[in-house]
Structure 1
Amino acid sequence: MKLISVNVAQVGPLFGPVPANGRQVATAIHKQPVAGPVAVGRLGLDGDAQADRRLHGGPGKAVYAYPLEHYAFWQTQRRLAGKGDAALVHGALGENLTVQGLLEDACWIGDRLAVGTALLEVSEVRTPCFKLNVKMGLSHAARLMDQSGHTGFYLRVLRPGMIAAGDAVTVLPGPRSLTIAQINAGRRTARQPDLF
């Protein structure tokens, strides 16, 4: 398992330039890869922010990780929607950490991830909002994320430290009672079986 990219963003406008109606939505979903080591503190990465702390951030959602393996799914969805074949840049799903080799079915709540000198703990699943639709250019991206189970996961910072792209990710098993995939499956069965 490997950390492919470390991605950060400051709060900015969701829609780019202010639209004609003058309304704007603040977001930090537009993550961009950064080079070199990045400090990870109890509330997240240096240089990163969260626009809506009711839904993002805080100790339980300090860092968001997303599997690189799901990028092909999103490329296909964008191509089918006529959005072209341009490669998605790491951080495109709003993640702080683009990881390889750690999918939702092998990621358990309470597992600890040793990355660089930091120690992180899998804390909860991501619940996507409408901002993902805008970011991906797909009106149903949030529903696609829910339905596919390609949600990624949030991490709590147990030990602050330094991380960098290319670092190995070592999983230290937690209680192993519930995977991110099981949570996703439970959320799907609690809703309509087909939302689109």
Structure 2
Amino acid sequence: MKVVSINCAPVGNLFMSDDSGMRRIATAIHKQPVHVPVEVRKLGIVGDEQADRSIHGGRDKAVYAYPIEHYSFWIAQRAKMLKQEENLPLGFMGENLTLEGLLENEVWVGDRLQIGSVLMEVTEPRTPCFKFNVKMRMSHAAKLMVQSGYSGFYMRVLQEGRMQAGDAVVLQPGAHRMTIASLNDQRRLGRQADLF
């Protein structure tokens, strides 16, 4: 297990059209890889921002991790929908950490991840909002994330420190009460009527 990429972004703009024309939305979903070690504090990676802290960020959602293994799924979905295949750059899902070797069915709420000198604790899966649809250029991208369970997960920072791309991820098991995948299943089944 390792960190493939660390990704950050300032608050910027996302544009979507609606009945009133083109609308500008504040977002920090446009994450870009950072090629130097980063400092991680209780509220996240230094240099990274969140546009809406009621949904993203805060102590329990300080860092968002996403498995690189799911990128091929999104590339295929976009190719079907947009009729063109294109690679997606790391950070495209809006994640801070692109991880390899750690999927939602292997991650339990309460597990701890040691990366560099940073210690984080898994808190919950991502619940995508409409901005994910706009970013993906697919009106049903958020539904697809919920249906597939390819959500990634949020973490709180227990020990501040430094990390960098290429660092190993050391998993310290928690209480093993519920995996991120099982939380995703609960959310999906509870919203079944909304998803179809």
2:122 is matched by which residue type in structure 1?
V
* Alpha-carbon contact 1:6-1:33 (below 8 Å) kept: yes
Q: Distance in 2 between matches of 1:6 and 1:190?
A: 33
Q: How does 1:87-106 map to 2 (within 5 A)?
A: 87-106=87-106
Instruction: Provide Cα deviations, 1:84-132, integer angstroms capped at 9, x if missing partner.
Output: 2221001000000000000000000000000011001101111000000
* Alpha-carbon contact 1:13-1:27 (below 8 Å) kept: yes
Q: Who is 1:111 aligned against?
A: 111
Q: Does 1:6 align with 2:6?
A: yes
Q: Classify 1:116/1:110 alpha carbon distance in 2 versus 1 (closer, same or farther; 3 Å).
A: same
Q: Distance in 2 between matches of 1:185 and 1:23?
A: 33
Q: Classify 1:175/1:42 alpha carbon distance in 2 versus 1 (closer, same or farther; 3 Å).
A: same
Q: Who is 1:133 aligned against?
A: 133
1:168 is matched by which residue type in structure 2?
A
Q: Does 1:160 align with 2:174?
A: no
1:145 is matched by which residue type in structure 2?
M
1:178 is matched by which residue type in structure 2?
M
* Alpha-carbon contact 2:15-2:22 (below 8 Å) kept: no
Q: Distance in 2 between matches of 1:12 and 1:24?
A: 10
2:77 is matched by which residue type in structure 1?
Q
Q: Who is 2:32 aligned against?
A: 32
Report how far residue 83 of structure 1 moved.
Answer: 4.9
Report how far residue 82 of structure 1 moved.
Answer: 2.1
Instruction: Provide Cα deviations, 1:107-159, integer angstroms capped at 9, x if missing partner.
Output: 00000000011001101111000000011111110000000000000010000
Report how far residue 190 of structure 1 moved.
Answer: 1.1
5+ residue gaps, structure 1, are none
Q: Who is 1:121 aligned against?
A: 121
Q: How does 1:135-150 map to 2 (within 5 A)?
A: 135-150=135-150
* Alpha-carbon contact 1:83-1:137 (below 8 Å) kept: no
In the TM superposition, structure 1's runs of 4+ consecutive aligned residues that sit over 3 Å from their partners are: 20-23
SS at match of 2:127: coil
Report how far residue 23 of structure 1 moved.
Answer: 3.3
Q: Does 1:41 align with 2:38?
A: no
Q: Distance in 2 between matches of 1:24 and 1:63?
A: 25
More strand by share: 2
TM-score, structure 1 normalization: 0.95
* Alpha-carbon contact 1:3-1:97 (below 8 Å) kept: yes
5+ residue gaps, structure 2, are none
SS at match of 1:24: strand
**Residue correspondences, number:** 193
SS at match of 2:73: helix
SS at match of 1:60: helix
Q: Distance in 1 between matches of 2:134 and 2:191?
A: 23
